Structure 1
Amino acid sequence: MRGSGGGHLTSPTCCGCVFVTYQSLSRSDRSSPLLITDSMPRPPAAAPQRRVLRRTVTGAILFSLTAGSFAAVSLPAAAAETPEGSSSIAAAAEPVRIEAESYTGTNNGTEINGRVIDTGVETSGAASGGSRVKNTFDGAEISYDNVDFGSSALSTLTVRYVVNEGRSGLNSSIDVYLDEKTDENKVATVALPSTGNDWEAYGETTVDLLREVSGQHTVIVVMHADPKTGEADGYPNYVGNLDYLEFGLAPLPDTYLTSESSWSYSDNGTDPSGDGSLAWTTADFADWKQAAGPFGSKRGEADLGSGFVANTLLQYLLEGSTNTVPTYHFRTDVDLEADDLARLESLEATVTYDDAVRVYVNGEMVAGFADGRVDEAENQNLTYAGESAGNPVTSTFQIPAEALVAGENQIAVSLYQDRETSSDIYFDWQSLAPVEDQPDRQAEITDIVLGVGSTEADRNIAWYSDIDVPQTAQIAKAADVQDGVFPEAAVTVETTDGGQTTSGEYFRDADFSGLEPNTEYAYRVGSDETGWSTVSNFRTQDFEGDFEFLFFGDPQVGASGNLASDEAGWVDTVNVATQTYPDAELLFSAGDQVNTASSESEYTSFLAPTQIREIPLVATNGNHDVGSKAYLQHFNIPNEDLESGAAGSSSASGGDYWFIYKDVLFININSNSRDYASHNAFMEKVVAEQGDKAKWKVLAFHHSIYSAAVHATDSDIIDRRNSMPEKISELGIDMVLMGHDHHYTRSYLINDGQIADPEEQAASESVVAGPGDVLYVTANSASGSKYYNVNTGTDLWWSSVRNQEKVRNYSAIEVTDDTLTVRTLRSQANGTASPVNSVVDEVVLSRADEAADELDIEAAASTRSIAGKQYVSVKVTNNAEVAVDIVVETEFGSKTFTNVQPGASANASINSRATAIEAGEATVTATADVDGEQQTVTKTAPYSAAG
């Protein structure tokens, strides 16, 4: 189980704060090695020599040329030696910048059009080198000797300049020549549009060179401007001021592949290698078909529905068989210039597929999705794989530059049907976009989730980063963080886990421990080198005593087909719930956070509420979450056991977990797995080791076994209903929280799969549980993305309350020593009669032994008038099984009654001695001896104003 190792780090300057710092833990099943492979083992950590080499070269990217000393300081690509054992990729060509004021020659003193050229240099605080070229009249020239452009061709020119519209001529421009001022040697003409009327307002313009530039040359710049007509004789008519000229690289293409790209393909259900090997990924096949994507078929038709239409129809069935073609094979080539390859960090690929896919580059596998079954096949070139997930799924992944070569790169794809009767197949390679190597770029940090920790004194966090760089979490008391600046006393916590995500990003986990009660903390994640996230705050509360948490059913954003609408509904529900219960200490999701397990756009919508970064989230693995590693990568789960309720494939998420929060032991199991033996062993172990530390035990899983909508009669639900309740009762679970059926249902108390008390009334406001009695609660949709109607015609014998108004719900669950109260409310109005926060259902759960210990008395108060004076009358009825002593107190006096027998009443009439009194309440205290122990209960009885 995760989270069991590590030690405390005490900061003497943090007012006694203590945090746990953990060493890195390997979780290869949680991350995807070399890009997005679901089933490959993680490759050995390749030394980042290419990045180090690139960083060394980058130190000399842009250089200045100073008058009188004109040696080029840029490092040509050919001059950098490749370290032993590193990639053979050459260092990238780099742009060459010439600071304009660094000229070595001018034509000063020359008279042109009656004006003597007098170009010079002046300071400018906004200039890149602190100075710039001035007095740039029409015909002025400046030149730069021995400019070394390196061995790689440069093809663009960027000029930074100022053209003051009020003081310059018309049509300012420059011509740029190499070595001689001839038409053959001209490499650029650059127009310099006006930048306004301020000599410090710089502009920048970029043009393509007339021919590519490399090697060593003299650069000659000739300036031009037309005179303004009608101006007084001698008006300056400047060209403008020049800051720098930068010769750069041609932009890389937007993408090397599109949906319309041509592929060679085989769809006849044969092994192209003939021996199960990967020889086909690098060999040419003259007899393969050639066509453009997207490719697909739905029972022999090109339209798959939901907007997925194949441009090229694939063969659907094997020849002479009713079985589908198990595996399809595709090949194409991508050519990369050596200079372009040297600039790349990776290629970002976006692929849409149904049902599973593997991608190879130059014979090496670089990505795989839903492909866990492939490794189990006798012939990986001809097998069924994947999971039937409805519509085709889109995934994004990175192909690192190290996997590519200069020249022709062979890309091969295996596309798998998941079974012999699968209805459709689809393949669309949408893009292959270059990602330029930027060693000093800042990380983009997203998807921050504040998760629940092992106890109320812990918090777990997870986040995504777009680049693979070392990152940490930093935490301090919020009062010590000013304007986002963390104090020296801030504690830095190392990550506990991390790796590449199924979307081509990088996830990170870190744990905060040793938190203080009733304290507000600020935290951020990232690093000084590559940037920090924005600062978020969270607040701890009391570490013991009563508390409340919020329970949400199936957000499943994206399920409606309108992601923006689903996100808005989800955000609104969370806002309503947290504004109504501002002290709620947990956000608890019943599962199906998203509609498509691998969809990062849906995860973005699910994580949209700011409260997810401020209040600990408890995530449950739903059937719409399980089919990707994204669930495990987005949520940093405490005390996780990945062998219990294990994932069904190498591309899926699985595992059971537990945590203790105050007096509640929470157990959360992956009900996608019906390995009941592993679930039971896990729960037994947790209850045996942790059960005595808590007063209540709450179990959560996604697939409701006591719901009242369409899933109630699914065969897999019936199997769970027949298999799970006995163990749940045996372990003394008090309440079970579930989702899946998008319909609110509250059960009767259930014991061993039967109604515990046949006399229990439907919709009772309170229920008293004996040993083994369990309350099951199924939540309705919190986002409004999907609702299910009641399962009519079925004996839903277990349902005490069922409700489906097709408006969003949430539940507030209040925990005390003696009771669990579940209050389910509308976060969306259902007409004027049922406004926002009106109650759908409320029930108070207590235990029989605790209910027996509490003395049962009833108290009622009223007023009456006697002789012009107002009296407060209080009637107290003893419903307990023992005699009680009763004290009645009001603001006007009190009365005591002793030995009031079971079933008897005590009546008190207390004179206010006033003609009028305000509304108030009487306090009644009952005391009795129960089994040798004194028990006391206090109740209040309100009365109205009188007189």
Structure 2
Amino acid sequence: MTRISRWLPASTLTVGLVASSLAVIAPAQANLEVDPESDVLIDETTTWRYLDDGTDPANGLPSRTDWTAPEFDDSSWDSAPGSFGALRGEIAELNGGYTPDNLLSQYKDSTNTNKEAFFFRSEFTVDTDELDQDDEVNGAILYDDAAIIYVNGKRVGGFHDEELAFTEEGDDRNLVYGGANASAPRYREFTVPEDLIEDGENTIAVQLHNGRDNSSDLYFELEHLTVETNEPEGPTAMLLQMGADPSERRLSWLTDSGVAESVQIASGAVDTMPENATTIETSVQDDSAHEGKQYAHATLSALTPGTYSYRVGSAEGTWSDIAQFEVHSNDVEHTFTLVGDPQLGSSGNLQSDGAGWQRALDANDQLFPESQYIHSVGDQVETYSGTPDEYLTFIAPQQLRSQPLMATLGNHDYNRSSPQDLFGQHYNLPNLADYDPTEGSYWFIYNDVLHLNISTEFRSDYDAHREFLETTIAQHGDDVSWTMLTFHRPLYSGGNHSVTGTTDGIRDNLGPIINDLDIDVVLTGHDHSYTRSYLIDGEGNQVDPAASEVIVDAEGNVTDQELIADYEGTDSSQRLEDGNYVRVTSDEDETLFVTANSSSGSKFYNLQDVGSYRDGYVPRFRDQQREQNITGVEVTQCTVTTNTVELDGTVVDKVELLRDHTAPVITAGAATVELDGEFDPLAGLEISDDCAVLTTDDVDVDGEIDTSVLGAQTVTYRVADEAGNETEFERVVTVAEAPAEDNDDDNNEDPTPIPTPGEDDDNTQDPNSNDVTDGNNVGGTDGDDSDDANDDDLTDADRVADTDRDGALANTGASIMWVVAIGLAALAIGLVLFLVKRNRLTP
């Protein structure tokens, strides 16, 4: 579509000002920034004619939309400038901070039943001679619950109007309910096609619909209609993501450059991209659901630990700013951040939701500075069909160019029966499963954790989910320390969704699959409240907390504090004292489920009454304070610790999952003790354990060594770690008589004569040296354990030949050894005297 770019003369327009950043984040009402070059066609001063008497203006006309044509007579309608709406029949502030300027007649006569629809018309003027090829007319609307916009009788945009069941014949064709039924007005942007714009006066018409007959409120405001300059932006909306393994990262971005783009990447943090930067081509670059944009994907592979700088774009077009990211060591010990349901746009005020999302990421920088990536459990945006402004607001934070984000497909990220185009265009997911038509199931490995991610919007074939999970775990589960599963709709939660039929179906079908597999942790969202489950065993039963939980202090010491008290009604659980947390020890077939609360604060659900929960699915811990939450997930060889906090650092729930299936190791060599001597059974004993710090104080010794009795005896050691893994080790101890004292007189048989010093001073090559292979063994017999370096180059044949004299020592070899020894001693004495003379040693 051709975009409209030059601003019209002020004499032809209603002068107004508009925010330059509307395409990214919706501005707050009555808080617009000034763009001095913009020409405003409609703003808050524009007069609208409106019909709110419950009748259909199309009655008696051939087409349902004939009332939108310029020639339609609306002279009998009421008129007023500004916004329109009602809250329970009165002018009052709606959720999101919106208060209508004009009251609409909300209810049918003498009832509390909502009218179905309301109708608005106005005009704007355009001098088409002043429009350049790249100009565009753009608008923004606020509405509750559904709206359709027409210009000169032609539809230019519909918002939450998919379920409006219009008929094509008869009267009252436009009087139907439908829409978002949201708690607050929605903000949406639209573009008027160039070929619909007439020179001079143009007619704009809007029809507004109530979502249902008992909806509490309604609202309409055309925030602005402007002619905007549209210069190419080049690359925007860059998003860094994880790859298939720790050595890979993935990128996605948008562009309107019209040329092929790529990634440039260099090692280190640089401000200017060096000439030797590596260029990586895109894996895809194609038309996007963002009008006038293309989306691009690229994969960065074979990365090693360190800092990298990158940018996207092209020399023919433009390059993005340079950003940096870190590739961390591939160690099991790491932290990532779990975020629940940002769902930007859910409150009806996209700007407010975007600000809340930014606050969450800023808090993450402070609370979990070691976090290596963001893991979202779904519903990144609100609108089922997917809207660019919500996606752009979600991606806007600068942190997401440097810290990878992994997205889960939530029900609001899916268009109810088909994938959102924008989900697949913005999220460049690794190892995407081809069995899932929702395009939301995938896996990746990061630092000794296998992450499985499945779509709970695909519920028609749970056997396919099972095969995907079983196959991936079989192929990769033995190569990692932990296996985590993420999906959106939870099995165990505490809010509104926990008691629905949809949730029951997921529990009944997905629950047994999880129980059968070796999955340690399940991460979910959807219920906009925080929940932690009991440990769930392989039969789907809750594990008794008395057998699996203890409370420990900040140093990890077990306390005598009682376990968390049971909650009642709709109360939250009792939070632990500062610094204390729960340690849960799991067996191999047991799984912990964690459901995250809202990270952006866009929407919260109240906790259900305890009596509403399905038997066996009562939460172990639940919390709802209507405060934004994020969770730091710390992974080590033997523990996964989830630390859920409010943005000021207040701890909601901290739980350490200890999964220790490895028994301690005891090592000790065979021991010998003298007859009637003392024996310490712990001497020489070493204790090690992968998941615990154990010492000899933790060892039980069974048996005693009677040192008054000669011979071999045994002692048994037993040690157990906190997880109950036990090791038994048997040690052999020999009681022996003390060795006889050494007597030099007994060892003086046939002493070898000491050669006279100087016999070999002519430095003649000794035929028995290592450089001569004559078969003579120098310095000892075969089997001699001396460390004589002269043996190093002798072959087995040499050694056999030299001992082929009934074991007699070769006299020539022995004599030469004495000569060498005396010579070396003389050299050493000479060196010492030399150094003393030079004052380098003190005599």
* TM band (smaller chain): 0.5 to 0.7
The match for 2:89 is 300
> Aligned partner of 2:402: which letter?
E
Residue among 507, 529, 534 paired with 1:747: 534
CA shift, 1:431, in A, is 0.7
CA shift, 1:432, in A, is 0.5
CA distance in 2 between counterparts of 1:371 and 1:640 reads 32
CA distance in 1 between counterparts of 2:63 and 2:10 reads 46
1:887-909 deviations in Å (ceiling 9; x for gaps)? 99xxxxxxx9997647479xxxx
Residue among 436, 439, 445 paired with 1:661: 445
The match for 1:768 is 586
CA shift, 1:303, in A, is 3.3
The match for 1:262 is 48
- Greater helix percent: which structure? 2
**8 Å Cα contact 1:264/1:332 also seen in 2:** no
The match for 1:474 is 263
Question: Alignment partner of 2:361: what SS?
Answer: helix
1:657-704 deviations in Å (ceiling 9; x for gaps)? 212224544343455x4x6325x2552342254332321542223344
Question: Alignment partner of 1:754: what SS?
Answer: coil
CA distance in 2 between counterparts of 1:823 and 1:283 reads 61
The alignment status of 1:612 with 2:396, answered yes or no, reads: no
CA shift, 1:374, in A, is 4.3
CA shift, 1:283, in A, is 5.7
CA shift, 1:433, in A, is 0.8
| TM-score (norm. length: structure 2) | 0.61
Root-mean-square deviation (Å): 5.1
The match for 2:241 is 451
The match for 1:737 is 523
CA distance in 2 between counterparts of 1:522 and 1:661 reads 23
Where do 5+ consecutive residues of structure 1 fail to align?
1-45, 55-91, 95-152, 157-249, 647-654, 830-835, 860-870, 881-885, 889-895, 906-924, 930-947
The match for 1:421 is 214
Change (3 A) 1:500 1:608: closer
**8 Å Cα contact 1:744/1:804 also seen in 2:** no
The match for 2:318 is 531
CA shift, 1:575, in A, is 0.6
**8 Å Cα contact 2:408/2:486 also seen in 1:** yes
Question: Alignment partner of 2:238: what SS?
Answer: strand
CA distance in 2 between counterparts of 1:614 and 1:547 reads 17
CA distance in 2 between counterparts of 1:839 and 1:522 reads 37
CA shift, 1:521, in A, is 3.2
The match for 2:185 is 392
**8 Å Cα contact 2:634/2:640 also seen in 1:** yes
1:289-438 superposed matches below 5 A = 289-292=77-80, 293-303=82-92, 305-306=94-95, 307-317=97-107, 324-342=114-132, 345-374=135-164, 381-436=174-229
CA shift, 1:490, in A, is 2.1
1:295-347 deviations in Å (ceiling 9; x for gaps)? 33344334362443334444435679875443444333333223233466211
**8 Å Cα contact 2:685/2:696 also seen in 1:** no
1:20-61 deviations in Å (ceiling 9; x for gaps)? xxxxxxxxxxxxxxxxxxxxxxxxxx6x6x99xx9xxxxxxx
**8 Å Cα contact 2:663/2:727 also seen in 1:** no
**8 Å Cα contact 2:254/2:294 also seen in 1:** yes
> Aligned partner of 2:186: which letter?
V
Change (3 A) 1:519 1:269: same
**8 Å Cα contact 1:573/1:782 also seen in 2:** no
Change (3 A) 1:454 1:903: closer
1:739-795 deviations in Å (ceiling 9; x for gaps)? 334335253225454215676334562433344x32101235556777778666557
Change (3 A) 1:381 1:481: same
1:848-890 deviations in Å (ceiling 9; x for gaps)? xx82x5347799xxxxxxxxxxx9978989999xxxxx999xx
CA shift, 1:483, in A, is 1.6
CA distance in 2 between counterparts of 1:837 and 1:426 reads 37
CA distance in 1 between counterparts of 2:166 and 2:454 reads 27
CA shift, 1:393, in A, is 0.5
**8 Å Cα contact 1:755/1:798 also seen in 2:** no
**8 Å Cα contact 2:431/2:442 also seen in 1:** yes
The match for 2:491 is 705
Residue among 818, 821, 832 paired with 2:640: 821
**711-720 vs 616-625, which deviates more?**
711-720
Question: Alignment partner of 1:661: what SS?
Answer: strand
Question: Alignment partner of 2:366: what SS?
Answer: helix
The match for 1:217 is none
Question: Alignment partner of 2:474: what SS?
Answer: helix
1:479-500 deviations in Å (ceiling 9; x for gaps)? 4966245546422326445424
**8 Å Cα contact 1:270/1:382 also seen in 2:** no
The alignment status of 1:686 with 2:468, answered yes or no, reads: yes
The match for 2:302 is 515
The alignment status of 1:843 with 2:651, answered yes or no, reads: no
**8 Å Cα contact 2:283/2:299 also seen in 1:** no
Change (3 A) 1:544 1:273: farther
The match for 1:119 is none
CA distance in 1 between counterparts of 2:308 and 2:490 reads 37
- The higher radius of gyration belongs to 2
Change (3 A) 1:568 1:341: closer
> Aligned partner of 2:469: which letter?
V
Change (3 A) 1:397 1:900: farther
**8 Å Cα contact 2:644/2:654 also seen in 1:** yes
> Aligned partner of 2:237: which letter?
D
**8 Å Cα contact 1:762/1:800 also seen in 2:** no
CA shift, 1:474, in A, is 1.2
**8 Å Cα contact 1:557/1:594 also seen in 2:** yes
**8 Å Cα contact 1:748/1:762 also seen in 2:** no
1:8-47 superposed matches below 5 A = none
The match for 2:511 is 725
> Aligned partner of 2:641: which letter?
V
The alignment status of 1:677 with 2:460, answered yes or no, reads: yes
Q: Percent same amino acid among aligned pairs?
A: 25
The match for 1:777 is 594
**8 Å Cα contact 1:300/1:316 also seen in 2:** yes
**778-787 vs 736-745, which deviates more?**
778-787
1:203-246 deviations in Å (ceiling 9; x for gaps)? xxxxxxxxxxxxxxxxxxxxxxxxxxxxxxxxxxxxxxxxxxxx
1:581-618 deviations in Å (ceiling 9; x for gaps)? 2xx44311234556888898887775565432122201
Question: Alignment partner of 1:729: what SS?
Answer: helix
**8 Å Cα contact 1:887/1:926 also seen in 2:** no
Question: Alignment partner of 1:309: what SS?
Answer: coil
